[in-house]
Amino acid sequence: MRRKLSPQTGLTLALLAFALAGCGSGAPTADPDGPILTGFDALPKSLATIVLSPTLNAPQAQATIDSRRPTETPPPPTFTPTVTPYVGIFMGQPTFSAAGIIPTGTRSVIVVTTAPQPGTKVAANVGGNPVSRTCSVQPAAPFANAARNAAVQQRLGCPSGAPYTIKLVVQPFQTGFMFWRETKEIYVITTAGLQKGAPTDTFWRVPDNWNESIPASDPGLVAPAGLLQPIRGFGYVWRSNANVRNSLGWALAGEEPFDSTWQDFEHGWMMTSNNGAVFALSPLDGPPVTTGIHFGPMGQ
């Protein structure tokens, strides 16, 4: 038969059994992997190592600043234009000094230069009053005497460049001459007025328009004995212009090439003829020059 335990006895027995169980198991064994973590504690963790840079001194700090500045882009190179030298023969009122070799057509004009010699005095007209001034360039030797003429000085002024030599073709007439330049221009120099006592005379500049399709001469014009009718370019100008024909008369001889010495002046130029005479010419218009006055012939 079974005994029924009282409540107090049952409670006592339960406490006794719990205590005996604890004593029999011994101390708890630690988990070698550690406890299982959950939530935020389950995330891996590491310590951040901060290395502090040493404090920079003043030169090091400035070097650091300079290294961070952008590299300056150099400006593009600048082009300085130079003056292009002018090479040629100017048929208008001369304002330049020729030098070197000037090619013209199939031939060349040889330019001879001499060193300018300052100190030449010339007469000039200022406000209607003649004055004397010093030129920086001296007239060439063939023109020294002509340049001392007061009227020539006043008209032409100072030389504007050194002398040079140019090849011309000339034909003498009863009262003057014609000369041809390689620029296909013809100059008509009359001395009819000078032979009558005038201080100056006239010259004209005309283009050489003659070509092979134009007759070289006019059979209807018969020159007096010992004289000639000009032909080709000279003849065409002479026949086409009554003023030129009357101012020159008939030709004394045929055409002749020669080397003329030229020198440009402020208001004209001086030149030597084929017989060595000097002529000083001053344009009245232009450029291009069509007419002007001249002094000559004058001796060297």
For tokens 């995330």, the residue is 43
**The model's pTM:** 0.57
Is 117 contained in some domain?
Answer: no
Q: What pLDDT, on a 0 to 100 scale, did the predictor assign at position 286?
A: 85
- Quick one: average pLDDT of 76-99? 37
Quote the mean pLDDT of the chain. Answer: 74
Is position 44 within any domain?
A: no
Query: 239 in a domain, yes or no?
Result: yes
- Residue 225 resides in a domain: yes
- Average pLDDT of span 263-289: 94
Tokens of 266: 């402020």
Domain count along the chain: 1
Q: Is residue 114 part of a domain?
A: no
Asked if residue 94 belongs to a domain, the reply is no
pLDDT surpassing 80 at residue 250: yes
**Does 39 score more than 90 pLDDT?**
no
Residue 201, domain member (yes or no): yes
Residue-range definition of the domain harbouring residue 251: 164-298
pLDDT score, position 43: 54
What would the pLDDT profile of 123-168 be if each residue is shown by its tens digit? 544 444 444 568 999 999 999 999 999 999 999 999 999 999 999 9
Q: Is residue 145 part of a domain?
A: no
Percentage of the residues of the chain whose pLDDT score is greater than 70? 56
